[in-house]
Amino acid sequence: MFPSLTRVLPSLTRVLPCLTRVLPSLTPAIQKLRKIYHSAIKPMEQAYKYNELRAHEISGTVRALLDGEITSKPMVLFLGPWSVGKSSMINYLLGLKDSPYQLYTGAEPTTSEFTVIMHGEKTRSIEGIVMAADSSRSFSPLEKFGQSFLEKLIGIEMPHKLLERVTFVDTPGIIENRKQQERGYPFNDVCQWFIDRADLIFVTFDPTKLDVGLELEMLFRQLKGRESQIRIILNKADNLATQDLMRVYGALFWSLAPLINVTEPPRVYVSSFWPYDYAPDTSRELFKREEISLLEDLNQVIENRMENKIAFIRQHGIRVRIHALLVDRYVQTFKDKMSYFSDPDLVFKEIVDDPDKFFIFKSILAKTNVSKFDLPNREAYQDFFGVNPIGSFKSLSAQCSYSGGCLLDKIEKAITSELPGLLSSINPGKAPPGLSSCEATGCGDKPKNRYRKN
């Protein structure tokens, strides 16, 4: 099943059954999660055009969700410089060495495509243009990066036990002396798309060439906010003697410290992830333990996939709610400042250019217990209202109906009770404390439903 892992098989007796066992059906939970999203969160997204915010100005992912993402398997993304062993590591984990579908490897830059390795009934390759056109998959948004990119996207399906539970994505290596324009598509934007959807991110390095340049610095800026999903792989570790490896390990952290601004650094795995035996006179036992720890880490991500989806959608709902509250405050301020003789364009330009003068952001913090760290940048709303006229939005109090209730009520119910309740139902006895309280989630004043008697 995993022929390439034979050198650590004696120590994997408890890990491999977990990686390949059939999970209990989560179909009812997924259906309920989809229902909560479509009934409580998506209407607010659409009403206030949440996905039109500039994504790079927001701390977190700004986008509408697809059904395919809710039902998809966990995604493991491999990033890093060229020829550090990303493709070799995938070949090793899946046992693809010497098979017709092994990923091509070499000392020179070899992977020029984004390769998605996923489960299928038979082994076959799929062109990127077909993947993007298939509505049953979650890759249709990739069409926005153009046909030049879709020619560099390829999918590989195969009937593999591990791929029944996880999807791997191999990426082109970062080349420090190559300009993004030379690739013919927006490489960093494509990387960001996969980063936003990855459950686990392996950033791989070769200990013999720790070149941290501008391209790699840009990559780590894109990883900001995803630190909990990052794992650093110091691959090909048996190429160095133990003493040299210790020096390289310290040099790696010294180089990455300015790029990863968190109190707890990411987990680092030190080994050689390929099907060959370790070089003599190296730390063989350490490398074996590191491989086992990595597989246990991968298994933990797979086991927690449903909990992670619920937590992600809840976090997404909180951001959508904050955006709606801000747009509502802009709308209310605009109406308050307008008079019979006012020029609407000048009035709103004054509000958008200096929202602090009108206490727009402070009023949200004061009334709703929203964390200031969750607020979008003010400049994001200058762009947002530049393409979305203020007159196209209703106030939250007007987003109510007799039969459907209020949009704000629905999203707050989803955040404070429905999603935590769903989490408890699939993981009994481990309900996160405080998720059902408005104090923790930042619930504020609810708009009065004009169509319902009190």
- Asked if residue 11 has pLDDT above 80, the reply is no
Pairing of strands 124-127, 167-170: unpaired
Task: Give the residue among 333, 347, 369 at the shortest CA–CA distance from 444.
Answer: 369
Average pLDDT over residues 434-442: 45
More confident residue, 77 or 4: 77
**CA separation for the pair 92, 103 (Å, rounded):** 10
Query: Which residues are CB-neighbours of 213 under 8 A, at least 6 positions away?
Result: 176
- Asked if residue 417 has pLDDT above 80, the reply is yes
Angle of helix 419-426 relative to helix 27-36, nearest 10 degrees, comes to 170
pLDDT digits (tens, 9 = 90+) for 135-152: 777 888 899 999 999 999
Say what the pLDDT of residue 2 is: 56
Q: Distance between alpha carbon 60 and the CA centroid of its chain, in Å?
A: 9
Least confident of 93-97, 244-248, 403-407, 437-441: 437-441
Average pLDDT over residues 365-391: 84
> Side chain identity at 331, as an amino acid letter?
V
Confidence of residue 58 (pLDDT cuts 50, 70, 90): very low
Please give the domain boundaries of the chain with CATH numbers for all domains: 75-282 (3.40.50.300)
Say what the pLDDT of residue 429 is: 58
**CA separation for the pair 303, 25 (Å, rounded):** 12
- Asked if residue 7 has pLDDT above 70, the reply is no
pLDDT digits (tens, 9 = 90+) for 318-353: 999 999 999 999 999 999 998 888 899 999 999 999
**CA separation for the pair 143, 444 (Å, rounded):** 39
Task: Give the residue among 254, 314, 296 at the shortest CA–CA distance from 37.
Answer: 314
**CA separation for the pair 1, 96 (Å, rounded):** 11
- Asked if residue 210 has pLDDT above 80, the reply is no
DSSP secondary structure letters along 55-118:
GGGSSS--S---HHHHHPPPEEEEE-BTTSSHHHHHHHHHT-TTSTTPPP--SS----SEEEEE
Confidence of residue 167 (pLDDT cuts 50, 70, 90): very high
Say what the pLDDT of residue 379 is: 87
Helix (H, G, I), strand (E, B) or coil at 434: coil
pLDDT digits (tens, 9 = 90+) for 380-414: 898 899 889 999 999 999 999 888 899 999 999 99
Say what the pLDDT of residue 56 is: 40
Burial (0-12, 13-18, 19+ Cβ within 10 Å), 379: exposed
Say what the pLDDT of residue 111 is: 59
pLDDT digits (tens, 9 = 90+) for 20-30: 555 555 678 88
Contact yes or no for 199/308 (Cβ under 8 A): yes
Q: For the whole model, what pTM was predicted?
A: 0.78
